[in-house]
């Protein structure tokens, strides 16, 4: 089961780059969509669980530090959206 969690986490983590690439190609400029941050968060959480199960300190440190960045970016995005809704 844990290998499946790790593999699925890696699919999300890698898939976020595909989502970013497709979005940027469609808009003809570099764009980081909200889905990128959600996929980063989901993939990192799943990979973190897998690395904890494996007792892999390198993987644990690598994935746990990114979680703060992904959460912070999502918070900034939704705070900005909320501000623009209340301003209009």
Number of domains into which the chain is organized:
1
Is residue 73 included in any domain, yes or no?
A: yes
Is residue 7 included in any domain, yes or no?
A: yes
Is residue 88 included in any domain, yes or no?
A: no
Is residue 87 included in any domain, yes or no?
A: no
Is residue 49 included in any domain, yes or no?
A: yes
Predicted pLDDT at 86:
82
CB-based contacts of 47-55 (< 8 A; 24+ apart in sequence): 47/6, 47/9, 47/10, 47/13, 49/2, 49/5, 49/9, 50/2, 50/3, 50/5, 50/6, 50/9, 51/6, 53/2, 53/5, 54/2, 54/6
Is residue 77 included in any domain, yes or no?
A: yes
pLDDT digits (tens, 9 = 90+) for 31-77: 999 999 999 999 999 999 999 999 999 999 999 999 999 999 999 99
For 9, the domain range is: 2-82
Instruction: Name the pTM for this structure.
Output: 0.86
Confidence of residue 83 (pLDDT cuts 50, 70, 90): confident
Is residue 11 included in any domain, yes or no?
A: yes
């Amino acid at each position: 089961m844990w290998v499946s969690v790790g593999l699925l986490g890696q699919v999300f983590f890698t898939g976020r780059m595909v989502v970013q690439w497709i979005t940027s190609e469609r808009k003809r400029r570099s764009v980081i969509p909200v889905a990128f941050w959600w996929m980063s968060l989901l993939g990192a959480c799943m990979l973190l669980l897998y690395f904890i199960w494996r007792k892999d300190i390198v993987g644990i440190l690598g994935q746990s530090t990114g979680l703060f960045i992904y959460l912070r970016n999502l918070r900034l995005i939704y705070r900005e959206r909320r501000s623009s809704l209340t301003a209009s």
